[in-house]
């Protein structure tokens, strides 16, 4: 006897059901798309709330009909397994899909179709969309801050030099490889500092002096992040080892240091560094505000790095220490050759996390009057000639930050894959 | 009789309130092979870990090759370099190749030139028959191979004494033999060895003396034949009846 199983699809009636089901889903999608892009309501004949709910109901019925276990059809199985496992998931799928479709036309027209990019003053922006002219006109400010336009090449050259020096490690000869850590921890930062000091600050070799107050924009973000990153890592390593030391003095100093810096908000640290700190210094002693800020952020982030690295040290089995000791290695040899190489590998994700947070914390230096990218935005949006374009600025800044941070996290994945070891 | 290379006198050790080693007296002469056996938790491992000061003892004296081990010992690394140790869990360095595992300590502790260290390492690896695996990483080797590498690594420091802390306990049965073979050939080469193990066959074959420990004390210490033929204490008899 043949039973009618209208809402119970199975392998026998798979063809009918999948065709009817996909047709219904298609109808619901067409309805939403036409509604969003063409502003035509295909279902205007239906009463009130049914019109809005129509695509959802039709889509749900369609997906329900398509839900056939082990249909043997590849695409259908994939669909059922991932987005159509039950009615609730089907509903979520449809809701997400519809919201994206609904939001697309507005954002597209605001960001691209109705946007303006020509001209070089506010008057060019007459459309209803975004005013990218604003970004275009202010671009140099966003990149270089108040740094004089004619000297921008100095910043560019300095960055290219610093990046090139960073790659030296890759081309080092085999017999120099053992000095690699020494190079990156001590020599490289010093050279980078000198390059940035002489090229960007100037004051000698016929280059005009530009005070750090004029530095700004993305280049300042890079400078601050760069120095903080390369200094906070070794410092964090020292405190991580210190916290695990057997010597009580070193141990408790490390604990105090870490707990102190982790307990204070970065913003107060920055205030202290720029307002309070100079008061404690002797009269004739001068330290640039930017240097003070970099030191403050470095000390702050080093505490976080220390705890991340300590986590890695903690996770190594005791046998590794035993083995290294039994071979006659002292504390430093054991850590340099056996413990740290393994621990640092383990903490790459955590360190990347800390570094990303650091890069995104740099805008805070605005509170002490240093305007990096986000700071320049804050200045630009209050410029009387360019009022009302905060949105464009923030979108621009978030895209720039996202690119930087995404690149960093990609790089950390690469490192992880490169140094993976089997246990 | 020559001076003992290891001399332990009235040694006591506590973990917190718990006394793990009670009044240990032991003398080991050069080139002798000692097997230490006993139930788990009897302090065997702790005893041999005290000999290269991976554990610190609280009372008594331990003298290794004429150097007394105490808080005042300055060059503990120097003494450790002369005492090789093989662990239950192998403890190879997973981030280094087999060859680098073996050359690391000779190069950095003994300041041996790299080339010489590599030749020495390959030589030692050949003795334990894994010289063909030299460029692999520990994670790619079987347990038996890893343990043999660990033996080779310890031997690369050219130690005077070798300590084995249950070297076969973490291995599959068919891999135990290859490790024991390596240890037997080492023993025949005249190395001073202290071996904590449950492999009584190994003890019978190479040991000069067998020590039975229980509850932190040395219950019985006798020549190998004597130990197995007529054990004196009841505790030893019970242990042997269970294990043999």
| B-chain residue closest to A423, CA distance | B139
Residues A6, A10, A13, A17, CA torsion sign = positive
Give CA separation, A123 vs A68, A116, A395, B114, in Å. Answer: 59, 10, 21, 73
Q: So what's the pLDDT on residue A1? A: 41
Of residues A69 and B123, more confidently modeled = B123
Ramachandran angles phi, psi of A344, nearest 5°: -65, -35
| B-chain residue closest to A337, CA distance | B104
What is the three-class DSSP state of B24?
strand
Of residues A311 and A107, more confidently modeled = A311
Does the CB of B160 have a partner CB in chain A at under 8 Å? no
Residue A333 near residue A360 (C-beta atoms within 8 A)? no
Instruction: Give the residues across from B162 on adjacent strands.
Output: B84, B193
**A81-89 average pLDDT score:** 82
Q: So what's the pLDDT on residue B193? A: 92
Cα–Cα dist A239/A15, whole Å: 67
Residue B235 near residue B214 (C-beta atoms within 8 A)? yes
Cβ neighbours of B163 in A, within 8 Å: 326
Cβ neighbours of A342 in B, within 8 Å: 93-95
| B-chain residue closest to A323, CA distance | B91
Of residues A5 and A307, more confidently modeled = A307
Neighbours of A88 (CB within 10 A): 8
- The band of A20, judged by pLDDT with boundaries at 50, 70 and 90, is confident
Cβ neighbours of B150 in A, within 8 Å: 323
Residue B82 near residue B105 (C-beta atoms within 8 A)? no
pLDDT over 50 (residue A81): yes
Interface residue of A177, A326, A335 to substitute, partner B, most B CBs within 10 Å = A326
- pLDDT tens digit sequence for A236-276: 999 999 999 889 999 999 999 999 999 999 899 888 888 88
Cβ neighbours of A419 in B, within 8 Å: 95
Interface residue of B82, B91, B96, B138 to substitute, partner A, most A CBs within 10 Å = B91
Cβ neighbours of B120 in A, within 8 Å: none
pLDDT over 90 (residue A320): yes
**Residue numbers in chain B where pLDDT is lower than 70:** 1-2
Contact: B95, A323; criterion CB under 8 Å: no
CATH code linked to domain A132-147+210-422: 1.10.3720.10
Contact: A327, B104; criterion CB under 8 Å: yes
Residues in A lying within 8 Å of B, measured between beta carbons: 317, 319-320, 322-330, 333, 337-338, 341-342, 345, 419, 421-423
Contact: B140, A325; criterion CB under 8 Å: no
Cβ neighbours of B89 in A, within 8 Å: 317, 319
**A124-149 average pLDDT score:** 78
Cα–Cα dist A150/A163, whole Å: 22
DSSP at A131 = B
Instruction: Give the residues across from B33 on adjacent strands.
Output: B193
Task: Provide the pairing of β-strand B161-165 with B83-86.
Answer: parallel
Length in residues, chain A: 423
Of residues A343 and A114, more confidently modeled = A343
**A137-141 average pLDDT score:** 80
Cβ neighbours of B137 in A, within 8 Å: 421-422
Interface residue of A177, A316, A328 to substitute, partner B, most B CBs within 10 Å = A328
Residue B68 near residue A295 (C-beta atoms within 8 A)? no
Domain segments of chain A as ranges:
14-113, 132-147+210-422
This model's pTM is above 0.90: no
pLDDT over 90 (residue A310): yes
Interface residue of B55, B108, B160 to substitute, partner A, most A CBs within 10 Å = B108
Give CA separation, B187 vs A232, B75, B163, in Å. Answer: 51, 28, 12
Cβ neighbours of A345 in B, within 8 Å: 95
- pLDDT tens digit sequence for A355-372: 999 988 888 888 888 888
Contact: A326, B84; criterion CB under 8 Å: yes
DSSP at A372 = B
């Amino acid at each position: 006897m043949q039973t009618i199983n209208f809402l119970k699809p199975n392998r026998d009636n798979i063809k009918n059901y999948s065709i009817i089901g996909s047709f219904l889903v298609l109808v619901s999608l067409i309805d939403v798309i036409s509604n969003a892009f063409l502003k035509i309501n295909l279902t205007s004949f239906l009463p009130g709330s049914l019109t809005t709910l129509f695509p959802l109901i039709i889509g749900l019925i369609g997906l329900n009909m398509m839900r056939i276990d082990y249909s043997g059809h590849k695409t259908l199985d994939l669909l059922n397994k991932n987005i159509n496992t039950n009615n609730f998931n089907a509903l979520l799928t449809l809701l997400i899909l519809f919201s994206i479709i609904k939001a697309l036309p507005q954002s597209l027209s605001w960001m691209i179709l109705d946007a303006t990019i020509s001209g070089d003053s506010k008057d060019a922006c007459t459309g209803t969309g975004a005013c990218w002219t604003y970004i275009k006109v202010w671009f140099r400010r966003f990149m270089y801050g108040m740094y004089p336009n004619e000297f921008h090449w100095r910043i560019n050259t300095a960055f290219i030099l610093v990046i090139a020096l960073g790659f030296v490690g890759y081309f080092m000869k085999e017999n120099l490889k053992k000095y690699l850590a020494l190079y990156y921890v001590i020599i490289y930062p010093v050279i980078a500092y000198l390059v940035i000091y002489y090229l960007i600050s100037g004051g000698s070799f016929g280059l005009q002096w530009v005070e750090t107050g004029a530095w700004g924009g993305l280049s300042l973000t890079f400078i601050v992040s760069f120095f903080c990153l390369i200094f906070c890592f070794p410092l964090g390593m020292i405190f991580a080892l210190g916290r695990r030391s057997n010597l009580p003095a070193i141990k408790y100093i490390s604990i105090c240091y870490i707990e102190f810096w982790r307990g204070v908000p970065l913003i107060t640290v920055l205030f202290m560094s720029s307002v309070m700190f100079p008061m404690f210094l002797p009269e004739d002693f001068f330290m640039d505000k930017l240097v003070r800020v970099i030191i403050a952020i470095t000390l702050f982030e080093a505490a976080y790095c220390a705890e991340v690295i300590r986590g890695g040290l903690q996770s190594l089995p005791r046998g590794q220490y035993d083995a290294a000791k039994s071979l006659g290695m002292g504390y430093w040899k054991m850590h340099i050759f056996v413990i740290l190489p393994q621990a640092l590998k383990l903490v790459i994700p955590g360190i990347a996390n800390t570094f990303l947070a650091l890069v995104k914390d740099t805008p805070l230096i605005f509170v002490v009057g240093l305007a990096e990218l986000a700071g320049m935005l804050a200045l630009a949006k209050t410029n009387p000639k360019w009022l009302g374009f905060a949105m464009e600025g923030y979108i621009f800044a978030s895209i720039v930050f996202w690119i930087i941070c995404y690149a960093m996290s990609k790089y950390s994945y690469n490192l992880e894959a490169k140094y993976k070891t089997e246990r | 009789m020559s001076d003992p290379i290891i001399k332990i006198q009235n040694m006591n050790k506590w973990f917190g309130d718990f006394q793990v080693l009670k009044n240990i007296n032991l003398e080991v002469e050069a080139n002798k092979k000692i097997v230490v056996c006993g139930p788990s938790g009897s302090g065997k491992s702790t005893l041999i870990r005290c000999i290269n000061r991976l554990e610190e003892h609280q009372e008594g004296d331990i003298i290794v090759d004429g150097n007394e081990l105490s808080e005042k010992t300055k060059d503990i690394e120097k003494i450790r370099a002369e005492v090789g140790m093989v662990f239950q869990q192998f403890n190879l360095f997973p981030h280094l190749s087999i060859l680098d595992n073996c050359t690391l300590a000779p190069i950095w502790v003994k300041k041996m030139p790299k080339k010489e260290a590599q030749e020495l390492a390959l030589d030692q690896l050949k003795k334990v028959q894994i010289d063909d695996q030299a460029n692999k990483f520990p994670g790619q080797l079987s347990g038996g191979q890893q343990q043999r590498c660990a033996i080779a690594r310890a031997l690369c420091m050219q130690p005077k004494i070798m300590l084995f802390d249950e070297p076969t306990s973490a291995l599959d049965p068919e891999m135990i033999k290859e490790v024991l073979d390596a240890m037997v050939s080492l023993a025949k080469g005249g190395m001073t060895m202290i071996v904590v193990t449950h492999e009584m066959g190994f003890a019978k074959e190479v040991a000069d003396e067998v020590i039975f420990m229980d509850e932190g004390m040395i219950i019985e210490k006798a020549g190998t034949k004597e130990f197995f033929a007529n054990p004196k204490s009841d505790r030893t008899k019970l242990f042997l009846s269970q294990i043999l």
